[in-house]
Structure 1
Amino acid sequence: MQGLSGWIALALVAAVLLAIIYGYNRLVFNRARVAEAWSGIDVQLKRRSSLIPQLVACLKAYMAHERETLEELVSRRGAAQAHERDGAADRAAVETQLTAALLRTFALVENYPQLKADAAFLDLQRNLSEVEEHIQMARRYYNGAVRELNVLVESFPSNLLARAFAFRCATYFTLDDARDGLSPKLEF
């Protein structure tokens, strides 16, 4: 009997060890997926920031009377670049302000019919519209990855492993105002 109970104990220890390894690996995988998803958002946000100087240069020639709006756009871009290394929550607040400044700028473009016909402006407008769509898709993917990680970190029994190995819930990339989630209408 001693031999059989020894094998059963060994099998139980092996099963528990395999369950721990499997749970840990799921946590690691989901943490890596959140990081990868954030990288996708980061790329699109940087891409948007890199288009803004071109947009401002294009707009300056036409919108001489809108200096404050252009200065605000440049200021918001600078703030967004200053927070590039921040986490999702802090970055979302700054990027939301940049999105609002972009929306205000494009609302003013309506007053300049010659600008709306400019080829360089139309190209920038198309690029910014694409970037906004990519940001929205990347945000959805990131938040899905965050949800998966957070479920593992908070649900039993994986929460025991998460606590033991210092896994933490990730922060969603949310918007302060639901209207900011809408892609700006950049087509004229």
Structure 2
Amino acid sequence: MVSTSFRGIWQVAVLLLLSSLVAGCGINNIPRYDEQVKSAWAQVENQYQRRADLIPNLVETVKGFARQEQETLTAVVEARARATSIQVSVDDLDDPAKMQAFEQAQAQLTGALSRLMAVSERYPELKSNQNFLALQSQLEGTENRIAVARRDYISAVQQYNTEIRTFPGRIWHSLMYSDMPIRENFEATTENAEQAPQVQFE
């Protein structure tokens, strides 16, 4: 009876020791880092959506003061439609073609917004309009948030990719997580894409 009880305690102790050794050896790092990548990508999409949500009000405000700039306004609306029509789910993060299409659509929208802001320079009443100034401030803040979200995503992908390429993560990857591939990273698709577009009017 005593030996059976002792054996049970010994088995529990060995099981606890093995569990702590496995938990401390990085076996959970790969799925943890993969989840960080997915979370970081969700933030990138969230910030791009925030920008897209600001654009209709911005276009309407500019239209009220600069109706003759219809070509520029139409270009912004069309670029927004293209950018919001391309959705990249977490399952698409490893598809370079989808990522490139997404990035190019966002870059086209950035360019169209920059042209719209340049046009507004010709309209002093527009530049002093409170609604326009508030939208300008929100757009500047959103562009900064996009830059931060992209940086965080790049960092998360780097951490994940490093884990599955180095020891001991490489071993765990080959044994348990071989279905989790190297992640594609966010690449700049336009010249000076790492800089937020200038929307100041001074």
Residue 163 of structure 1, CA deviation: 3.6
- Across the two proteins, how many residue pairs are aligned to each other? 176
Q: Unmatched 5+ residue regions in structure 2?
A: 1-13, 94-98
Name the counterpart of 1:8.
none
Q: For 1:74-89, what aligned pairs fall within 5 Å after superposition?
A: 74-86=77-89, 87=92, 89=99
Where 1:24 maps in the other structure, the secondary structure is coil
Is the aligned partner of 1:47 residue 2:58? Answer: no
Is 1:175 the equivalent of 2:188?
yes
Identity %: 30
Greater Cα offset, 148-157 or 97-106? 148-157
CA distance in 2, matches of 1:24, 1:80: 38
Give 1:21 deviation, angstroms.
Answer: 7.7
Q: Residues of 1 paired with 2:61 and 2:183: CA distance?
A: 39
Q: Is 1:123 the counterpart of 2:134 in the alignment?
A: yes
TM-score by length of 1: 0.84
Q: Structure 1 counterpart of 2:188, which letter?
A: L
| CA displacement at 1:109 relative to structure 2 | 1.1
Q: For 1:77-116, list aligned pairs within 5 A.
A: 77-86=80-89, 87=92, 89-90=99-100, 91-116=102-127
Which residue does the alignment assign to 1:38? 41
Structure with more helix by fraction = 1
Query: How many angstroms apart in 2 are the aligned matches of 1:24 and 1:76?
Result: 44
Q: 1:163 to 1:102 in 2, by over 3 A?
A: farther
Unaligned runs of 5+ in 1: 1-10
Give the root-mean-square deviation of aligned CA atoms.
Answer: 2.3
Counterpart in the other structure of 1:137: 148
Between 163-172 and 117-126, the greater mean CA deviation after superposition: 163-172
